[in-house]
Amino acid sequence: MESREIRDIGEAGSLNFMKGKGRSTTAVSAVVEFGLVRRSLLASLASGQIQKDDICDAHPELLRAAKNVGRSTKENCPVCDENELVEVTYVFGARLPAGGTCPHTRAELLALERRADPVLCYAVEVCTQCHFHHLARKWQAGGMKSAKPVAKKANQ
Ligand SMILES: [Zn+2]
């Protein structure tokens, strides 16, 4: 689990998820958390290895989604500490938009997770104030299995 997480950092840590590139080679059935990545990002920022602009560059589409369908995380932005982080979920799969779809409600997300076709879900934390964004976790759902892993709240 630890090594898989680290192997995923390079690819998923960038904005590849925005392109809807489903990587079927990594058959992840459980939720993969990226809290480690976030901690290392923030540590790099604190030590001056990276600049605020490097991690506060959320795509306009992502910011729009955050404002429209972002869900409260009850957590302040770790970068600016001025705004609450919101979470946006992108779901990719067959017969879904190439750029993924953003469920507006928990019920919509559950419906997507129960599709007959497998789906890949990405939860992104966004600050609409300073534009910090971070891939919080990803998971697979849908498909043939009736008993599927359910996304749990991360970083609680
Ligand atoms: Zn912020």
- What is the 3-class SS of the chain, one letter each residue? CHHHHHHHHHHHHCHHHHHCCCCCCCCCCCCEECHHHHHHHHHHHHCCCCCHHHHCCCCHHHHHHHHHHCEEEEEECCCCCCCEEEEEEEEEECCCCCCCECCCCHHHHHHHHCCCCCEEEEEEEECCCCCCEEEEEEEEECCCCCCCCCCCCCCC
Distances (CA, A) of 130 to 5, 13, 61, 81, 87: 27, 19, 15, 9, 15
CA of 128 to the centre of ligand 1 (A): 7
In a domain, 148, yes or no: no
Partners of residue 32 on adjacent β-strands: 138
Q: Which pLDDT value is given to residue 40? A: 94
In a domain, 152, yes or no: no
Distances (CA, A) of 156 to 39, 45, 68, 84, 132: 14, 22, 24, 15, 19
CA of 85 to the centre of ligand 1 (A): 7
Report the C-alpha gap between 34 and 41 in whole angstroms: 11
CA of 55 to the centre of ligand 1 (A): 10
In a domain, 151, yes or no: no
CA of 126 to the centre of ligand 1 (A): 8
Q: Which pLDDT value is given to residue 23? A: 40
CA of 107 to the centre of ligand 1 (A): 28
Count of the separate structural domains present in the chain? 1
Apex CA 22: angle with CA 21 and CA 27, to 5°? 150
Tens-digit pLDDT profile for the chain (156 aa)? 444 444 443 334 444 444 434 443 344 467 899 999 999 999 999 999 999 999 999 999 999 999 999 999 999 999 999 999 999 999 999 999 998 999 988 899 999 999 999 999 999 999 999 999 999 999 999 986 555 455 555 554
CA of 86 to the centre of ligand 1 (A): 10
Q: Which pLDDT value is given to residue 139? A: 96
In a domain, 13, yes or no: yes
Q: Tell me the residue range of the domain where 34 lies.
A: 2-141
CA of 97 to the centre of ligand 1 (A): 29
CA of 83 to the centre of ligand 1 (A): 6
CA of 134 to the centre of ligand 1 (A): 11
Looking at residue 61, its amino acid is E
Q: Which pLDDT value is given to residue 145? A: 53
In a domain, 102, yes or no: yes
pTM above 0.85, yes or no: no
